[in-house]
Amino acid sequence: MTVDKSKFEWGKRTYIMGIINTTLDSFSGDGLMAQGSDWVAAAVAHGVRQEKDGANILDVGGESTRPGSDLVSLDEELNRVIPVIEGLVREVSIPISIDTYKSEVARQAIRAGASMVNDVWALKMDSEMAGAVAEHKVPIILMHNRSTPKNAEMKKGLGSRYIGVEYKDLMQDIKNELEESIDMALKAGVKREHIIVDPGIGFGKTVEQNLELIYHLNELKTLGLPILAGPSRKSFIGYTLDLPPEERLEGTAAAVTLCIERGADIIRVHDVLSMRRVAKLTDAIVRRQS
């Protein structure tokens, strides 16, 4: 797959997606809007730093996806992401992804310079998203998601987690639901080679289910598509290690290593420099790439 001028050769190495949260209430504590009136400049500088640290893609999102977070209006989301994308386009040379489930945000972000769409609801929240992606001929990340507010629980210091979420067969259910989204994309005219799947670590899954998902991640290879995994600073790490988001670096490194060993092609992370090193060593072992 080639995105802008960047070539992605799946299976040869692990690619790094850096996270840029233009929010006030990110679960990981990195919401850049909290930095005051200069938050756009701070977000762009953060992206520039992530590119220097080894990111291959930058993922810009304007709405928090943590359990219990407030919904953001279309206009507010656009106000949060478009200035950042426009600033990044002038400063970085790697592809920019827009993290949204709203088709109009995707359209305007692509016009502003984004070249990928990361949909955390895998086309199932906005019926026009598949058509928007097909129209602009950009890659789409389809993420599995069963998040519901009624299953969310908050614990001081550890943040939110999901409880009581039931699956008949965790991996088969994830694959079945991703296949539904893949079919939606293909029927809308999205090219199969433009589709990436994400099992949705942390989204509508209990701590135990997230651990099981990572252990069995390689089962998603039967879909025949590149896999993105996003374990970075997630609550399953915090609840397993009894640590707040800012102390989950080692837990993230362990999860990233296992995701790569089990077939992840892209890892979506907050700590780009550290996780690039983790990925490079893991690739040297499992892919024989130095």
Q: Is residue 150 annotated as a catalytic residue, yes or no?
A: no
User: Annotated catalytic residue: which of 66, 102, 262, 268?
Assistant: 268
Q: Is residue 175 annotated as a catalytic residue, yes or no?
A: no
What span, in angstroms and rounded, lies between the C-alpha atoms of 39 and 21?
Answer: 11
User: Annotated catalytic residue: which of 234, 248, 262, 276?
Assistant: 234
Q: Residues with catalytic annotation? A: 234, 268
